Structure 1
Amino acid sequence: MPITNKDRQIAENFSVQQSQPEKRDQVYYNSLAVLAVNHYCQWMDISTDLKESDSWNPIKQSLGDLADLSLTNLGKIECRPVNFDAAAVEVPAEVWSDRIGYLAIQFDEGFTQAKFIGFLEKVESEKIPFEQWRSLDNFLELIEKLETVDSDHLEVNLGNWLQGIFDHTWTAIETITQPSDLELGWNFRQRSRTSSQTISNSNTSEIERVKIVSLEPPGTEMALLVGLTPTTLSELDISVELYPTQAYSYLPEGLQLMILDQTGKSVMQAEAGGSEKLLFKFSGESGEQFSIKIVLREISVTEIFVIESTV
């Protein structure tokens, strides 16, 4: 993979913002590795977003050894740089989580070419010999799998919800909070619901539907609750809540809930750190599209919503 003059200039611009020589070198190497992977992904038609990557933020660069590249709607790939005379890849423990995988990139002595050493989906060591890295085909297979999971979800038209029309996967809350389920840890029984109502003339009624979301490992299930309240003929107040489905339990550590705009950019994001639920509230207008993305380690689920009409 060729490294261009522009690539080296970008890496240099990042590195000079660091005060310590060792940190400048680290940022320079990391930036070149990220750019090499970004070029490769572009050639393979894998959508990326450099600006959403922590490695592209000078402040975060100064706080950690980060070389992540955000793949649109899929997660982050870690791009670890390797010196020309090294025989192993260094992967700091701080990047062992929140990554869908790891790519190792070795530079030549003059930083004019980058060679892909290989791919790993998970790492548990700070030094990994070259022979333990797997083929790039494994990286492409992972991307194909994640894109398949992501594309399994069709758009949900919230305009239909306002007319009382619901997909069978989105159910009324009452249907899953029967007496046998009263121990579920959602606090649903303490709240007044109007899930199956259509909108009244006053435009003040709230519609809420829930969907059970399954992630790996098997048995990891959560309840995704979406609520709508029309405020004008063209605008909705929208609430998004995520709960564990087990009694007195908490959301998995490290689980992320994101709201994406129609370009796939994250506009709201929260991470569960022993919390009982995650909650977002925002507004949407007729014609807009947004997505709800749930990420746990290398697995993600995305639900796409479109607001066709709020009348």
Structure 2
Amino acid sequence: MNTSLSDFTVTLTLEPHHQAEQFRQHQTSPQKAKQVYLNTLAIYATRFYLECLGYEPDLSASDGLNPVQQMLLGTSALAVKDYGQLECCPVVGGEMEFAIAPELHQDRIGYVAVHIDDSLRTATLLGFVTKAADRVSLSQLQPMETLSGLLTPSLVQQASEGITQLNDWLQDLADDAWQTLDSFVNPATLAFRNQTTESTESIIARSKRISLNEYDIILAVGLLPLSESQTEIQVQVYSGQAQTYLPTQLKLSVLDADNQEVMQAESRATEAIQLKFIGNPGEQFSLKLALGNASVAERFVI
């Protein structure tokens, strides 16, 4: 094994080949059987890499190690405990790109490209992307050593494994964790406003209680449909404790689909933090709360 993080190569021992052969036998199509075999080897190599860096893969929660999910989705996902699933995409021969099936474009924290040599004896982790596309060029990959910037379980107390579908809220459907605003009584909720009509009637809003560094914090998200192609997102954060002021230096960030910060606000002994932006259907973003050395991320798709 090469221990250089920029060119991390894993020896494929009998263990991953034995597991790959077991999964292969569940497939009736020779082409699908070959793909499942390669997927399993790619998962093993990624798992080995993560374990070397101190991360904890969750094999029981990995779709790529579930025969049913393999058959239905053709997935090669490896779950990372407390964070989400990485899709491990095998690359063979002289291929300069790899495909990501449309059904795998969501609910993944990233996509790792793993080159498997012709002898199936070694696998090299080439890099990763955080944004899915039908086909991804190897030239678009971020280096593996920067993956630790995406996976920071030591600092993340809580993170949604999936993505909250905001379109569901418009149909009065929401996960139990996201409650109506009257579930958390606080004057700060009155700040949700339609700036055109100065009313709250067209605002669809939900809130969630979050514990961060022993503080109770309420994250509230309001939706204001502007047209078929644009939705205004209003975000508020306020105290969920008896005291009305937020802890000093609590930071709220909006991250794009590539986990790059595009907006941020910070509490300075204020009652609430507020941000507002406009998004398009299908657009993904995250809301990140950070206080001291702890952070919480919630992922959404419009």
**Range of TM-score over shorter length:** 0.5 to 0.7
CA–CA distance in 2 between the matches of 1:187 and 1:82? 42
Query: Structure 2 counterpart of 1:65, which letter?
Result: G
Name the residue aligned to 1:128: 136
Cα RMSD of the aligned pairs, angstroms, is: 4.0
Name the residue aligned to 1:142: 150
User: Which residues of 2 match residues 201-216 of structure 1 at below 5 A?
Assistant: 211-212=218-219
Report the alpha carbon displacement of residue 172 of structure 1 after superposing the two structures with TM. 8.2
Offset from partner CA, 1:121-141 (integer Å, 9 cap, x none): 2132x2223222121122121
CA–CA distance in 1 between the matches of 2:27 and 2:188? 55
1:60 alignment partner, SS class? helix
Offset from partner CA, 1:25-74 (integer Å, 9 cap, x none): 11111111111101111111011101101111111111112111111111
Query: Structure 2 counterpart of 1:94, which letter?
Result: E
Pick aligned residue for 1:3 from 6, 12, 17: 12
Pick closer, same or farther for the CA change 1:117–1:53 going to 2, 3 Å.
Answer: same
Name the residue aligned to 1:200: none
Pick aligned residue for 2:70 from 57, 61, 74: 61
Name the residue aligned to 2:184: 173
2:31 alignment partner, SS class? helix
Q: Is the 8 A contact 1:172 1:210 kept in 2?
A: no
Name the residue aligned to 1:95: 104
CA–CA distance in 2 between the matches of 1:69 and 1:116? 14
Name the residue aligned to 2:299: 296
- TM-score, normalization by structure 1: 0.53
1:102 alignment partner, SS class? strand
Q: Which runs of 5 or more structure 1 residues have no equivalent in the other structure?
A: 153-170, 189-208, 226-245, 247-251, 256-292, 299-311
Q: Which runs of 5 or more structure 2 residues have no equivalent in the other structure?
A: 1-9, 160-181, 193-198, 208-215, 223-231, 241-275, 277-281, 286-295
Name the residue aligned to 2:43: 34
Report the alpha carbon displacement of residue 20 of structure 1 after superposing the two structures with TM. 0.9
Q: Is the 8 A contact 2:217 2:237 kept in 1?
A: no
Query: Structure 2 counterpart of 1:55, which letter?
Result: G
2:131 alignment partner, SS class? coil
Pick closer, same or farther for the CA change 1:98–1:5 going to 2, 3 Å.
Answer: same
CA–CA distance in 2 between the matches of 1:107 and 1:47? 23
Query: Structure 2 counterpart of 1:64, which letter?
Result: L
Query: How many residue pairs were aligned?
Result: 197
1:174 alignment partner, SS class? coil
Larger radius of gyration between Structure 1 and Structure 2: 1
